[in-house]
Amino acid sequence: KQEVTQIPAALSVPEGENLVLNCSFTDSAIYNLQWFRQDPGKGLTSLLLIQSSQREQTSGRLNASLDKSSGRSTLYIAASQPGDSATYLCAVLLDSSGAGSYQLTFGKGTKLSVIP
Amino acid sequence: GAGVSQSPSNKVTEKGKDVELRCDPISGHTALYWYRQSLGQGLEFLIYFQGNSAPDKSGLPSDRFSAERTGGSVSTLTIQRTQQEDSAVYLCASSLTRFHFADTQYFGPGTRLTVL
């Protein structure tokens, strides 16, 4: 069974700092990996999706990397802003049966607070 | 264009009653996903639809849970004989692609279900 772990569980940084969020997964035969953002009381917003054949994806101040062999992904946020405060979730997609039976497994998230 | 909508936004029910949760995806999106987010379990993937078809129902927590989608649009998640452990926020998402999970998912605001 795929397990996804996110470290740290919570992080507080001063505005302007660069930061890294970590995600690790136990089964490296993934189809893709996604990073999401969740604001309190709201649904999720997809940030970046990395296909298994890719090494990284970038969007604005966000950069996500994927190392399938080691079962790790990082989300790098440059020049953090108070508006970045949210919970960041990592999710991996696995074709559990090899026959198109997909399962998406989420980590428990990292709660980020950016202090003005 | 409207985003993903879910109704009701909040539902309080008594143990043993049946509930129906509704999801209206973004128009034209072929893939639709249901998730559950609870304090104890984090975010769980439940089921996805490609058109009106759900290829894999193994993510549903028990046989009290069922889901259907009609006309390639609206989906309903039904929970029969609700239990207190069913209390959670139920999130729905949709994506454009017919290649499920390979495209950005857009999430609704969720339905908060409380079983007394």
pLDDT in tens, B18-58: 999 999 999 999 999 999 998 767 788 899 898 898 878 88
Average pLDDT score over chain A: 91
Contact between chains at A100 and B93 (C-beta distance less than 8 A):
no
Answer whether A49 sits within 8 Å of B44, measured CB to CB: no
Q: What is the pLDDT of residue B97?
A: 78
**Residue A35: alpha-carbon gap to chain centroid:** 3
CA distance to partner chain A, nearest, from residue B44 (Å):
7
Please tell me the predicted confidence (pLDDT) of residue A2: 83
The confidence score (pLDDT) of residue B79 equals 97
Which residue in chain A is spatially nearest to B100 when comparing CA positions?
A: A102
Find, among A4, A8, A5, A7, the residue nearest to A104 by Cα: A4
- pLDDT attached to residue B92: 95
Max CA distance (Å), chain A: 49
Of A51, A101, A106, the CB nearest to B43: A106
Q: Which residue do the tokens 């259907």 mark?
A: B68
State the smallest CA–CA distance between residue B48 and chain A in angstroms: 9
Residue bearing the bigger pLDDT, B43 or A16: A16
Give pLDDT tens digits for B58-110: 889 999 999 999 988 999 999 999 999 999 999 999 998 755 566 788 899 99
Interchain CB contact of B100 with A (< 8 Å): yes
Contact residues for A116 (Cβ-Cβ < 8 A; gap 6+): A15, A82
**Chain B nearest C-alpha distance from A60 (Å):** 16
Which residues in chain A have Cβ-Cβ distances shorter than 8 Å to B107? 43-46
Q: What is the pLDDT of residues A24-72, one digit of tens each?
A: 999 888 888 999 999 987 778 989 999 889 999 999 999 999 999 999 9
Cβ–Cβ < 8 Å for B16, B4: no
CB contact under 8 A, A49 and B43: no
